[in-house]
Amino acid sequence: MAIHQEIDFTLEIHSAEILEASTVQSIAETCDRVEDARTGDVLLVHLRGDDSGDAGRLRSRHHDIHLVNKWERVLHRLERLPVATVAVATGECRGLAAEILLATDYRVATPDLLLRLPSSGVAPWPGMALFRLATQIGFRQARQPALFGAATTAEKALALGLIDEITDDPAEALGAAVKNFQGARAGDISVRRRLLMDATGSTFEDALGSHLAACDRALRPAGQV
């Protein structure tokens, strides 16, 4: 798939990739580039499936909880970037790729998408993907994939809201997304995203101050901090 010429930042992850320090570092470096830049509104995330037959294991050569902690933190950083994150997922999206998909803003999939949560071998991995899944689609809908590792087809993922569109032409869908997200950085997309993410765990009174601060910032003349 040709990358749209207006894309400023890209990241590519294959479902077969294992969790290791270099993977975390690669994503951290991408976050550095996005955060340090003054322009650019979209980070394109290519999530490529494969047919290796692995059921989505979150494999690591070094079974180290400290590495897992770094992985979870870099994903949290990814989902708080000052740009729109657009994922294009193809084939069997599992393991690291499935976790990243759940941390993006807009999700495009080809009809052959098969979404599987990462596993630790015989059972779904008990990482923050379960938290994201439950907060995004609710306990009832998350139960089967979270408890039993059930795969989700593209059609079902669309119905659940785990993806935003299915297309045979990802390049065209990506071009439309780029146009839709122009001005995302200047429009403080990260602030609105954070307010949404915090909403499920906040009372009205707790949330009001943050929302008023965001409104105050939006009301200021352009360029005034």
* In the predicted structure, residue 183 carries a pLDDT above the cut 70: yes
Q: What is the DSSP letter of 119?
A: B
Cα 65 to chain centroid, rounded: 22
Tell whether the model's pLDDT for residue 222 goes beyond 90: no
pLDDT digits (tens, 9 = 90+) for 161-181: 999 999 999 999 999 988 999
- What pLDDT was estimated at residue 55? 45
- Tens of pLDDT, residue by residue over 119-154, are 877 788 899 999 999 999 999 999 999 999 999 999
Q: In the prediction, which pLDDT does 218 show?
A: 86
pLDDT, tens only, 20-46: 999 999 999 999 999 999 999 999 999
CATH number, domain containing residue 115: 3.90.226.10
Does residue 60 share a domain with residue 148? yes
Q: In what helix (H) or strand (E) does residue 44 lie, and over which residues does it extend?
A: strand 42-48
Q: From CA 98, how far away is CA 70, in angstroms rounded? A: 17
Distance, in Å, from the CA atom of 222 to the CA atom of 74, rounded to the nearest integer, reads: 31
Instruction: Say whether pLDDT at 156 is over 70.
Output: yes
**Does 67 share its domain with 115?**
yes
Q: Find the domain containing 61 and state its range.
A: 9-180
Domains: count for the chain: 2
Question: Are 164 and 203 found together in one domain?
Answer: no
Separation between Cα atoms, residue 201 and residue 22, nearest integer Å: 33
DSSP 88: E
79 and 40 in a single domain? The answer is yes
pLDDT above 70 covers a percentage of the chain that reads 89
Fill in the DSSP letter of residue 38. S
Distance CA 1, CA 57 (A): 27
| Cα separations in angstroms, 218 against 80, 82, 163, 221 | 18, 15, 29, 8
Query: Would you state the pLDDT for residue 6?
Result: 63
154 within a domain of the structure (yes/no): yes
Q: Indicate whether 54 pLDDT > 50.
A: yes
**pLDDT tens for residues 59-117?**
555 568 899 999 999 999 999 999 999 999 999 999 999 999 999 999 999 999 999 99
Question: Do 176 and 195 share a domain, yes or no?
Answer: no
What is d(CA 55, CA 59) in angstroms, rounded to the nearest whole number?
A: 11
